Amino acid sequence: MTIAVYPGTFDPITSGHADIIKRASTIFEKLIIGVYDKPDKQLLFSITERVDMVKKTVADLPDIRVTAYTGLTADFIHKVKGRVMIRGLRASSDFEREFEIALMNKKLAPDIELVCLMTSSEYQFLSSSLIKEVARLRGCLKDMIPDHVAIALKEKFSAKAPQVSKNETRC
Ligand code: ADP
């Protein structure tokens, strides 16, 4: 059985991530989603919130495990007996970054293979950071994030800036 691992920050999970998860789950017998606890970037959601949102998103899919991890992704993949790392590619800028990460990972863990799935065209422009920006400004995010993520974003930004929450989301 080939175990694949899809690591990411998922701050928050988007429909683009969900699409990669669905497609990867049809290729590999078992898929583990690794939610990276402490990336070197500022996060909106806690690790518990991010794991919870990913779990809710994949609740209907079989043979998927969601778990938080810290430290090197290669070490995490070894720990869960993974053989393949999944990543998603949107544009050439993603390719450059993923290529660098892939080469570094090959040095650290030559036994792990990288499989990149191209984004579906409707999600090409989607990123967690853009989603957060639009949510903060109460833009409509229909079909770009799961409904429960929309609720979590609304709550987050209402708590952070109560004065903005008076504007209803434009959907
Ligand atoms: P990281 O901080 O590790 O890049 P992200 O949560 O931002 O974590 O992304 C995880 C993976 O999902 C990355 O490989 C990223 O390129 C991919 N990804 C992000 N958004 C999309 C999307 N809209 N379509 C396809 N892949 C995506």
What domains can be seen in the chain, in order of their start residue?
A: 3-121 (3.40.50.620)
Ligand 1 in contact with 17 (CB < 6 A)? yes
Phi, psi of 105 (to 5 degrees): -65, -35
With the most atoms of ligand 1 within 8 angstroms of its CB, the residue from 37, 87, 117, 145 to mutate is: 87
- The active-site residue, picked from 17, 50, 87, 132, is 17
Which residue among 5, 13, 17 has the greatest number of ligand 1 atoms within 8 angstroms of its CB, and so is best to mutate? 17
pLDDT of residue 162 exceeding 70, the answer is: no
Q: Fill in the amino acid letter for 150.
A: A
The verdict on whether 65 is a catalytic residue reads no
pLDDT of residue 38: 83
Q: What is the DSSP string of 102-120?
A: HHHHHHH-TTPEEEEEEPP
CA distance 25 to 31: 6
Q: Give every CB contact of residue 156 below 8 A, 6+ residues apart in sequence.
A: 44, 45, 135
Alpha-carbon span 102 to 150, nearest angstrom = 32
**The pLDDT of residue 163:** 54
- For residue 91, what pLDDT is reported? 84
Q: How sure is the predictor about 23, in pLDDT bands with cuts at 50, 70 and 90?
A: very high
Residue 170, classed as helix, strand or coil, is coil
Whether the CB of 35 sits within 6 Å of ligand 1 = no
If you average pLDDT over each of 88-92, 114-118, 166-170, which comes out highest?
114-118
The pTM assigned to this predicted structure is 0.93
Q: Are 138 and 167 in contact (CB under 8 A)?
A: yes
Is 148 one of the annotated active-site residues of the chain? no
**Tens-digit pLDDT profile for residues 114-143:** 999 999 999 999 999 999 999 999 999 999
- When pLDDT is averaged across residues 62-78 and rounded to a whole number, the result is 96
pLDDT at res. 167: 61
